[in-house]
Structure formats: C-alpha cells, structure tokens
Amino acid sequence: MDVSTFYLLVYAWIAIAILIFPIVIRIVAPYGRHTNKKWGAMVDNRVGWILMELPALLVFMGFYLWGAGPRPAVTWIFFSLWVFHYVNRTLVFPFRLRTKGKKMPLAIMFMAIGFNFVNGFINGYYFGTLATEVQYPLTYLMDIRFLSGILILFFGMFINWQSDNILIHLRKPGETGYVIPQKGFFRFVSCPNHFGEILEWSGFAILTWCLPALAFAIWTLVNLLPRALHHHKWYKDTFPNYPVDRKAIFPFIL
Ligand code: NDP
C-alpha cells in the first residue's frame, strides 16, 4: 500500500469516528448491564470478549513483526506497550471477569472485531512499515512528547487496571448482580475504567506522535464516553442512594 493511500484510509477512519459519535451517544451499546436480546443471536460473554479483542493483539503484532520497514529501536517500545495492554485485555481480563451465564449479541462482537482489526492494522502497519529512524531516533526517548505521553499512558493504565480490579471484586464467584462501587477513582466518577483507558490511549498518541495512534485515541473516546454516560444514567436510575456529586467519566467535569 502506498503512503498516501494509507493516510487517506486513516483520515477516513477518523472521519467515520466523528460522524458516528452523535449516533453512538444515542444508542446504548447492548453488552454487560445493557445487554439486549433484540440485537439477534447471542454468544457467551467471555468467549465474545476474547474473540473481539484478539484482532487488536494479533493483527497489530503481525503487521509490525512482518512489516517491511526499518522498525527503529524506539518503535519496539511502542510495540511492547501495545502488546502488554492487549495481552491483559485479551488473555487475562476475560478470565478474571465474574460473568457466569452472561451473553452478548454476536453483532456487537463482530462490530468490535472490525474496530479492533482496523486499529490493529493501521498502527501495526505504521510502526512496522512506515516509521523511520529520522522520525524516531534514539534521542526521541528524551523528547517531551515521549516523556509526557508515557507518563499519561502509565497513569491511565494504573487507573484502568485498578478500576477493573475493583469492579471484578464487587462480586463473589458465581454472583451476577450489581452494587455501587465505592473505592479508588469511583469516588469521583462512575466509570474510572473508561477514563483510564481514554487517558492511556491519549498518552500513546502523544508519545508516538503519529496519525494512526491519534485515530485509535479518538475511537476509544467515541466508544467509551457514551458508554460511561449510559452507565452513569443507569446507576442513577437503579440506585436511589447513588452519590449525587459523582460525575460520569471525567472527575469534576462530566
Ligand atoms: P464495565 O464497567 O461495563 O464492566 C466491567 C466488568 O465489571 C464486567 O464484568 C461487569 O459485569 C462488572 N461490573 C461493572 N459494574 C459493576 C457493578 N456496579 N457491580 C458489579 N459488577 C460490575 O466495563 P466494559 O465492559 O465497558 O469494559 C471493560 C474494559 O474494557 C474496561 O477497562 C474498558 O476501558 C475496556 N474497553 C475498551 C474499549 C476501547 O475502545 N479501547 C472498548 C470497550 C471496553 P457485567 O458484564 O455483568 O455488566
């Protein structure tokens, strides 16, 4: 694929994210607490998670490792950060979930497969084929974009992992109900797991300073901001004693 076609694809991908945002803010994504049989055939929740996240890991790795470019040393750090996140999300997180007997629509699984395929491809191809030594020399490790981005990424990863962990332990093995989370960043927002994930990929976009990573950060925001707003409304509708000063996703803001 020539470079201009690639960039056209990434710009189109960003445009789609921006165009569908007003739609996804209105449609409650039907998985987890919002799961809904009206969306057709269902798949086991854990199996769905593994299958839908797998392309983000394998497609990214494949396009990076078999890329035709010089793969500067610095891009191996980008590669490791991505793989570290997605090994957890794909191969560890689904087995930790206390999700016995729950299902998700196959349609959601296939949409997520498509989403993860494209994001895995554009990022893996970019770092594996297009990235150059001139763009990412070893001195880039002291660049303010790299340093600030990696701090934001790790801060986001900490919040995301801590919050996922708190949620998982709200249930005893075998339980499937919901309670109000009280610990960690849940004191400030209903969905710190989503807040952390958005910070993480925004940090990745800053530290790599490239269009495909920006596209992924935008898509993460477009996916998770509406989901957090829907969760927040669900909490307020479900629990009359829900903390009134708790925001949905961004502490003290929204
Ligand atoms: P949720 O917060 O909806 O659920 C996470 C887990 O915690 C589920 O097993 C859920 O059970 C359980 N849970 C949630 N709230 C409660 C509660 N109040 N009481 C008891 N159990 C609860 O997270 P998502 O499924 O939306 O996302 C999971 C992870 O994946 C997050 O870290 C998120 O950031 C990430 N993600 C990233 C995306 C991206 O675009 N990069 C897209 C989607 C997710 P149940 O399933 O039964 O509701």
Answer whether 222's CB lies under 8 Å from 17's CB.
yes
**What average pLDDT values come out for the chain (254 residues) when binned by 10 residues?**
95 98 94 88 94 97 97 98 98 91 92 97 98 98 98 98 97 90 98 98 98 98 97 97 98 97
* Helix runs in the chain, H state only: 3-24, 45-65, 73-87, 93-96, 106-125, 144-168, 192-208, 211-238
Query: What is the pLDDT, as a whole number, of residue 182?
Result: 96
Query: What is the pLDDT, as a whole number, of residue 150?
Result: 98
How many angstroms separate the alpha carbon of residue 196 from the centre of ligand 1? 12
Query: What is the pLDDT, as a whole number, of residue 37?
Result: 84
**How many other C-beta atoms lie within 10 A of the C-beta of residue 84?**
11
CA neighbor of 225 nearest in space, from 13, 21, 14 = 21
How many angstroms separate the alpha carbon of residue 33 from the centre of ligand 1? 9
Answer whether 153's CB lies under 8 Å from 198's CB.
no
Query: What is the pLDDT, as a whole number, of residue 36?
Result: 82
How many angstroms separate the alpha carbon of residue 32 from the centre of ligand 1? 7
Spell out the domain ranges in the chain: 3-238
Q: Which two tokens stand for residue 184?
A: 């960690």
**What pTM was estimated for this model as a whole?**
0.96
Query: What is the pLDDT, as a whole number, of residue 241?
Result: 96
Nearest CA to ligand 1 atom 48: 32
CA neighbor of 85 nearest in space, from 254, 209, 203, 245 = 203
Q: Which residues line ligand 1 (CB under 6 A)?
A: 32-33, 97, 99, 102, 160, 164, 167-168, 170-171, 178-179, 181, 193-194, 197, 220, 223-224, 227
